[in-house]
A and B are shown apart, each in its own frame.
Chain A
Amino acid sequence: MRKINLWAWFWIFLGALYFFGPLYGALDFSLREKRGTLSLIAYQNVLKDPNFRNSFTYSTLIALATIVVGLLLIVSTAYWVHLRLPQARPIVDFITLLPFVVPAIVLVDGFIQIYSGPPFALTNTPQGTNVLLMFGYIVTAMPYMYRSIDAGLRAIDVRTLTEAGQSLGAGWITILFRVILPNIRTALLSGAFLTFAIVIGEYTFASLLARPAFGPYMVLLGQDRAYEPAALSIMSFALTWAAMMIIQLLGRGAPGQGQVAVAH
């Protein structure tokens, strides 16, 4: 027993080293903008930068749009599949997993090919490109969002709840908003925060569709500054951490809530 414990601690230690090493590196580095002393100058510079604020706001708005439209699309589909169309489940499952097979860089390539000319010339206007970007993000986040919501719906008995609602005289909209959604709110919120974590620093779609998002801003900053990128890294990490902690707190005690991770 003691031998096993020692080995186990060894691997845990190694894992912790790998996890905290780069974080420590980034933190230490981000505080060294001013030679010979530790300071928060790098963070101040980042926060003062109007491009930071603009790009971060832009990404936040896109993330919110992605969450709202994505949840609407996926919740209604997953609910309907659970309730009335169980035979559509395999095909829906399959489609939601496609983004794993088609990497973002490939998908964005296809987007540009299709949506830069008639009949759907979306990339000709900034608004159109924003919409395209949002749909790209919905595709990227879909496997995780769908999985989260599907698990939430599996954990409750959708059919019985719906039938109970109907027998009490409730209509579809009432049942969905007053009965089903409150019961899967954990799944909804988990999906939302995960989507936020995915979208906020996304680079591939944003850069190739040439939108002023947070991801491309970070890369640009990384090319001509030394300490600010490390500060951004720490700030991004804090954001990811917060999102994951919220998901975990939400998921505590909720059945069928697996942890998931994003593709890069």
Chain B
Amino acid sequence: MDFIYMAEATPADSQRKPLVRSFLPTNLLVWLGVLPFFLFAILFILMPSSSLVVGSFQDTQGHFTFKNIVDLFTPSILNSYLLSIQISLVTAIVGALFGFMLAYAAVLGGLPRWVRTAVMTLCGVAANFAGVPLAFAFVATLGRTGIFTASLRDAFHFDIYQHGFNLYSFGGLALTYLYFQFPLMVLIIAPSLDGLRREWREASENLGSSTWQYWRYIALPILLPSLLGTMILLFGNAFGAYATAYALTGGFLDLITIEVGNQISGNVLYNPNLGLALALGMIVVMSVSIGLYSWLQRRTARWLR
């Protein structure tokens, strides 16, 4: 997942030859310096993750079984995965589109400098304002008794809940997720837009191309790798979201994260091993989407070496 580092300049010190070149025994001492970190990674990332694999193939008594994995393929669970994938896809795509337009407007729209600063600051706040408080803010605004809902009802006798809107549904959750999705897109894509060099646009104009042709043949292909990278980040961001969904819908919307939470905390159905298998399935979904991303990345960025 190299997209995190995409916008960064090459470090000045990476040009220099490393002081330590090999894994010779004398250098084992040098590796001791990162031992605490690796220990931490093993204890709190790798072991918990691999325990999912082991636990997924065990029943509550610890005997080996395929039952949990087989159970993943029951319609209700498949639906949870599907719902989570759908909401992640929708919010990733819509968030990316909207975020892109906003970033474009702020960076290349020819607006005063302060607009850009303000947009970046607000996006920094919005991308980090999520989870429970965000859900509350949406309930207060668009819930059944929310300010917006109530004022529409009072002023125009128009009840959005009578006309198909429901905050505690797929659409409402998507709307809520978008609150942190599009600002994240803005934060990540803005540096890439900055990276579009003026000379590219001028060279293409000089060779006779229109604005549309410039975007079609040059700007979009150049941005595509970072666009894809950001989309996968947005996808993962929504796919793993638990707090926002739980606080908003109280666990009624059957997302896979909610399902995992139910299996662990044992509100209704308590089967920790099934919970582990569900979680394992989430890792599989994330890995597949990252694999897909790397494949697309290789195809779209042959020129990026």
A: residues with CB less than 8 A from B are 1, 4-5, 7-12, 14-16, 18-19, 21-26, 28-30, 73-74, 76-77, 80-88, 92-95, 97-114, 135-136, 138-139, 143, 147, 151, 154, 157-159, 194, 197-198, 201-204, 207-208, 215, 218-219, 222-223, 226, 229-230, 232-234, 236-237, 240-241, 243-245, 247-248, 256, 258-264
Contact = CB atoms under 8 A, between A and B. Distances in A.
Interface in B1-15: 1, 4-5, 7-9, 11-14
Contacts of B139: 222, 229-230
15 contacts: A5-B109, A8-B105, A73-B37, A80-B33, A101-B287, A103-B241, A109-B52, A110-B48, A154-B8, A154-B11, A159-B16, A215-B131, A230-B139, A261-B183, A263-B240
Interface residues of B, number: 106
A9 B102 CA distance: 9
Nearest to A103: B240
Contact of B8 (A11, A87, A247, A256): A256
B236 A24 contact: no
A114 B243 contact: no
B141 A105 contact: no
B264 interface: yes
Nearest to B258: A105
Contact of B140 (A16, A29, A105): A29
Interface string B220-243: 000000000000010011011111
A87 B20 contact: yes
Interface string B120-154: 11111111111111111111111001111000000
Contact of B244 (A143, A230, A264): A264
A76 B32 CA distance: 12
B45 A98 contact: yes
A232 B1 CA distance: 36
Given A11-B102, A262-B128, A22 B138 contact: yes
Interface string B159-203: 000000000000000000011101110110001000000000000
B44 A138 contact: yes
B241 A264 contact: yes
Contacts of A14: 98, 102
Given A5-B110, A261-B187, A101 B137 contact: no
Contacts of A18: 178-179, 182
A73 B109 CA distance: 43
B101 interface: yes
B13 A154 contact: yes
Contact of A113 (B16, B120, B276): B276
B36 A76 contact: yes
Interface of B: 1, 4-5, 7-9, 11-14, 16, 18-21, 30-31, 33-34, 36-38, 40-41, 43-45, 47-49, 51-52, 55, 98, 101-102, 104-106, 109-111, 115, 119-142, 145-148, 178-180, 182-184, 186-187, 191, 233, 236-237, 239-244, 246-247, 250, 257, 260-261, 264-265, 272, 275-276, 279, 282-283, 286-287, 290
B128 A88 contact: no
Given A80-B34, A110-B279, A21 B133 contact: no
A170 B147 CA distance: 63
B120 A259 contact: yes
Contacts of B191: 258
A112 B131 contact: no
A218 B132 contact: yes
List the 10 closest A-B pairs by CB distance, nearest first: A103-B240, A25-B141, A8-B109, A110-B48, A261-B127, A203-B243, A29-B140, A236-B133, A8-B105, A80-B33
Contacts of A4: 109-110
B2 to A, nearest CB: 8
Nearest to B40: A73
Contacts of B126: 19
B8 A103 contact: no
Contacts of B33: 76-77, 80, 84-85
A247 B109 CA distance: 26
